[in-house]
Amino acid sequence: MSSTVFDSFLFRDMFGTPAMREIFSDAAYVRRIIDTETALARAQASVGIIPTEAADRITSGADFDGLDLDRLRAETEIVGYPVLPIIKQVADQCGDAGGYLHWGATTQDIMDTAVMLQCKQGVALLGDQLDRVRRALQRLAEEHVDTVTAGRTHLQHALPVTFGYRCAVWLSALDRHAERLEQARERALMVQFGGAAGTLASLGEGPEGLRARAALAAELGLRDPAITWHVARDGLVELVSLFAAIGGSLGKIAWDVMMMCSSEFGELAEPFVPGRGASSTMPQKRNPISSELMFAAAKLLRDKSSSLLDAMMQDFERATGPWHLEWAAVPEAFLLLSSSLHQAEFMLSGLEVNVDRMRQNTHITGGLIVAEAVMMDIAPVLGRQRAHDVVYEACRTAIETGTSLETQLLDHADLVSRLGAERIGQLCDPARYLGSATTMTRMVIKAPDRGPSDSRR
């Protein structure tokens, strides 16, 4: 039976996606190990280390479907790693050529490279998902570039902003994450081939070992590093730490959306699907389920990043345990981020925006949200300190009497005589105090490259 949310038939699509689970499935992992072994044979044949006929036979003979998986599972538990049990069975499939299988390699070479192949597929999938979320946010920002809403600091009204501006702030972070993901893809996805202690000593002191590694990297579409990285785990740390950061940005979006969905705000609602977010006892409930899952994923991703940082501290040329942390944390990090991006795309693509409620909410403090606007405008008339005192007193009185800032300002005869009632009314309109919010929003909206990248496919 299932024991975690990642393999649970109830919860697995809330903490992962089918496509990402397939990439990191046991079957896919074993296939990537076989892909690595056959590619290694071809690479070594290309530089004259093993016979070409042997490489051809290994490539054609290695067959996942011919493996005895029960035997493989049992032997993996005994050995502690799956590579030797796989080699035994694949070597049998390849006849005499099987003697050249895994030539000069060590278990970690094969396992690390297999994981890199999984990561390569996983990063491509995440990149496409991130692009779709960015496009959804771009549409929201463009649609609501002029939708006035309350800007909040310390959970209190601060100054007016637009909902498009808020979406553009969210989007700007994801745009930067997309750049980071592409940079990490180029830097972190490295082939591994160094032999027992990483020195390729079993292949001699000539250039053949390094030439074989370069050929292996080319075969698999991975980077050829300058030196073996058995105990230099920064590549995987970079990926998972970046996933945690992306998850954190998605969690920030989720937190804002959840608060704006609250009954007191009433400004947003997640897409309506019959029964989604329903309560077993309260028929009126429409809980922000996608946002809640994004928020949970952000916290779990932080834990995965912490585990990978722990796994960096490895002894000498081969670790005595930290490596194993990656086996659990890396697939789960991919699953969590894939799930969060899936939930974000669904939620943002169908987000219900209550424009009228947003505008109404800017007035719930009786116009105090534009106190700075009034003060800055009347400062040239009354002087800065006098303007501050007048507006401060008007705000205090408005709060105590339950009236509005405009009402109190209109009671100030000197101010009315200098500005006029119409100008005071204009100053108290939140839509007239947005600064450069609209300009900055349009700049983010126009940023290029939010489509699928051919380099990730």
**CB-hemisphere CA count at 13 Å for 244?**
19
Active site residue 230: no
Q: Considering 154, 280, 417, 436, which one is annotated as catalytic? A: 154
Query: For residue 388, which amino acid is it?
Result: H
**Phi/psi of residue 149, each to 5°?**
-145, 170
The Cα 352–Cα 155 span in angstroms is 22
The 8 Å CB, 24+ separation contacts for 215-218 are 215/42, 215/43, 215/44, 215/46, 215/47, 216/39, 216/40, 216/43, 216/113, 216/191, 217/190, 217/191, 218/43
Tokens 């100054």 found at = 159
Active site residue 280: no
Give the length of the chain.
Answer: 457
Q: Considering 2, 25, 279, 455, which one is annotated as catalytic? A: 279
The residue ranges of DSSP E strands in 66-198, in sequence order, are 148-153, 156-162
User: Contact 333/240 with Cβ under 8 angstroms?
Assistant: yes
Contacts of 380 (CB under 8 A, 6+ apart): none
User: Contact 149/361 with Cβ under 8 angstroms?
Assistant: yes
If you ran DSSP here, which 8-state letter would residue 1 be given?
Answer: -
User: Contact 160/151 with Cβ under 8 angstroms?
Assistant: yes
Point out the residues that are catalytic: 154, 279
